[in-house]
Chains A and B, each alone.
Chain A
Amino acid sequence: MITVDGICKTFKVAKRSAGFIAAAKAMFKREYIAIDALRDVSFKIEEGEVVGYIGPNGAGKSTTIKVMSGILVPDSGKCEILGRTPWKERIAHVKNIGVVFGQRSQLWWDVPVIDSFELLKDIYKIPQNEYSNNLDMLVQTLDISGIINTPVRQLSLGQRMRCEIAASLLHSPRILFLDEPTIGLDAVSKIAVRNFIKKINKEKKVTVILTTHDMNDIEALAERVLLIGKGRILYDGSLKDLRNRFGANKTITVDYSENHQPIEIAGTKLLSWSPERASLYVDTKEVKVSDVISMLSDKLELTDVTVENPPIEEIIVELYKEYAL
């Protein structure tokens, strides 16, 4: 459905040092540095997938999304989405996709949300009946019936974001690109957005590609993760494999009856300690979890034991570290 093959994109960025003299100099002679936003990016996405696209700031996530939605023209490489090259057949291509840029707004600022929707209906030439069906569904599942008659400028960020998502799905696109859809949202709105994405993926078979910095989004939604750093794809696979590869470590938390001796076990790291409770970080390559527990029970009178996977955030930090991002 989506094939990206060897996409490269370089941006020319004007460079100048701080200060007035540098600014005055730049009026005559400008220095540019070339920044490789994307270097040989390739991947394939099948219909109905939800793919999480992650990477640190400036890694090239948004640039990839923009290339795939036909906004940017790459310097080289091929991209085929539903049989079309986005930037060559932009108008035909964009009919099949919906895009949400979390940091931008596609709604008209001064008029009620519903007016923007009506305009989109005409822009995409959506048949009346399809439009009303989609609108009903979106208004209901995104819970925006109370706000679609309010001017956009009076909406909160969370309310606006839900309207933005609705706006990008009115024309029943087959692919949805979400560029940081949960940026700046509170927990309730985040969960609403996530549930909604799950729902349309399941019920309407919409292929979803989302970029985010919130690993909970990825954990809740994406089976597959693409990691990009410095313009290169570094990892492409399931979240589970990612965990196995980088998250081979566990955290053991034990409660015990009072003991004033700090614990020391080879292959583990003490994360926190008090006379009643300790948290240990276990590197499972060096020592097995069961061994640690038996050693602990030898030394202490345990009352409770919990073994946890490290949070996905930590895995990502590890990953970034490993690739020196």
Chain B
Amino acid sequence: MKVYASVFKMRLINGLQYRTAALAGVATQFFWGFMFIMIYEAFYQNASVKQPITLEQLIDYVWLQQAFLAFITFWFRDGEIFDLITSGNIAYELCRPSGIYGFWYSKLVAQRLSSALLRCFPILIITFLLPEPYGLSVPPGVDAFIMFIVTLLLGLLVLVATSMFIYISVFYTMSPTGSQLLFNIIGDFFSGVLIPIPLMPEWLQRIVYILPFRLASDLPFRVYSGNIPVEEAMKSILIQLIWLGILVVSGRGLLGKALKRVVVQGG
């Protein structure tokens, strides 16, 4: 366990070195946030029927998305692991007395956490201070807030377990581009980053709810805004845990298989 903690610490130190990148990231997130909000505002003003999510809830959804972007997108990736595999430096990882899966997993979680820690606070603080209806509102209750934190962190674990398959696929394809692209598109769409899930047509929602992608973003954000009530959130936590189990176990198995046939590139 201590190993994972130190990998985590190392990654955090590493991530904290890049302040300028974080600042630029925050600026970009504001740009996107405002753009989405303006589009939805126009859409809500002209909508004739009542939408399944209020504009205030949707605005919370958008700001949380921007603040925790590092928790929810697949394009946030660790180039180092790709390099390890394609350049053959994985040789060193394999002569360490620890399992590769756990090692990489903690590294990936740490990377996302460090990035989110750097970016979320400025965004959250500023959006709290914004005037209605553009600002971030407070969650409906303490219980909703606690549920939000729990689902957000569990969601991060589910997302990282899913992203692990991108890295495993590189053992076979030797290039991350293809699987990366595939995961980006599928992930962004089915997690509600492109279109908030409550605004999707019903038949599509049914598909989305079966897949694990929404568990990292859509679920915690709607819990925060009160769109998903606390009792339902409890049930969702169970679903998150089940998915986490499935993804980790199958990922471990697949990685083990890939490592058996590993070829250390470059002599």
Q: How far is the CB of B267 from chain A (nearest CB, A)?
A: 6
Q: How far is the CB of A15 from chain B (nearest CB, A)?
A: 15
Q: How far is the CB of B178 from chain A (nearest CB, A)?
A: 13
A 40-71 to B, binary, CB cutoff 8 A, 1 in contact else 0: 00000000000000000010001000100111
* Structural contact, B262 and A123, CB atoms closer than 8 A: no
* Structural contact, B264 and A103, CB atoms closer than 8 A: no
Chain A residues within an 8 Å CB radius of B92? 99, 101, 104-106
Binds A, one of B2-10, B28-36, B66-74: B2-10
Chain A contact patch, size range: 20 to 34
* Structural contact, B266 and A103, CB atoms closer than 8 A: yes
A257 to B267 Cα, complex, angstroms: 54
Q: How far is the CB of A154 from chain B (nearest CB, A)?
A: 14
Q: How far is the CB of B111 from chain A (nearest CB, A)?
A: 13
Q: Which of A11, A62, A71, A92 contacts B95 (CB 8 A)?
A: A71
Q: Which of A108, A111, A122 contacts B3 (CB 8 A)?
A: A122
Number of A-B pairs, beta carbon distance below 8 Å: 73
Whether, in the assembled complex, B88 has its beta carbon less than 8 Å from a beta carbon of chain A, the answer is yes
Known contacts: A71-B262, A105-B89, A106-B92. The answer to whether A118 contacts B97 by CB under 8 A is no
Chain B residues within an 8 Å CB radius of A101? 91-92
Whether, in the assembled complex, B20 has its beta carbon less than 8 Å from a beta carbon of chain A, the answer is no
Q: How far is the CB of B102 from chain A (nearest CB, A)?
A: 11
* Structural contact, A119 and B262, CB atoms closer than 8 A: no
Chain B residues within an 8 Å CB radius of A58? 267
* Structural contact, B95 and A123, CB atoms closer than 8 A: no
Chain A residues within an 8 Å CB radius of B10? 108, 111, 115, 119
Residue of B nearest to A14 (CB): B174
Chain B residues within an 8 Å CB radius of A21? none
Q: Which of A66, A94, A125 contacts B2 (CB 8 A)?
A: A125
Interface hits, B7-35 → A, CB 8 Å: 7, 10, 13-14, 17
* Structural contact, A95 and B262, CB atoms closer than 8 A: no
Chain A residues within an 8 Å CB radius of B98? 91, 123
* Structural contact, A71 and B6, CB atoms closer than 8 A: no
Residue of B nearest to A106 (CB): B92
* Structural contact, B95 and A122, CB atoms closer than 8 A: no
Whether, in the assembled complex, A110 has its beta carbon less than 8 Å from a beta carbon of chain B, the answer is yes
* Structural contact, A72 and B262, CB atoms closer than 8 A: yes
Chain A residues within an 8 Å CB radius of B211? none
Residue of A nearest to B92 (CB): A106
Q: Which of A97, A103, A108, A124 contacts B14 (CB 8 A)?
A: A108
Q: Which of A92, A104, A119 contacts B6 (CB 8 A)?
A: A119
A residues whose Cβ falls under 8 Å from a Cβ of B:
11, 58, 62, 66, 69-73, 90-92, 94-95, 97, 99, 101, 103-106, 108, 110-111, 115, 118-119, 122-125
Q: Can you sample 22 A-B contacts with CB below 8 Å?
A: A62-B264, A66-B91, A69-B91, A71-B95, A71-B262, A72-B264, A91-B98, A99-B91, A101-B92, A103-B267, A105-B89, A110-B17, A111-B13, A115-B10, A118-B6, A122-B2, A122-B3, A122-B5, A122-B6, A123-B3, A125-B2, A125-B97
Closest 3 CB pairs of A and B: A122-B6, A106-B92, A71-B94
B residues whose Cβ falls under 8 Å from a Cβ of A:
2-3, 5-7, 10, 13-14, 17, 87-89, 91-92, 94-99, 260-264, 266-267
Known interface pairs A71-B91, A124-B96; 20 further A-B residue pairs with C-beta atoms within 8 A, sorted by A's residue number:
A58-B267, A66-B91, A73-B260, A91-B97, A91-B99, A92-B97, A94-B96, A95-B97, A99-B92, A99-B95, A101-B91, A103-B267, A104-B88, A108-B14, A110-B17, A111-B14, A119-B6, A122-B5, A123-B96, A125-B3
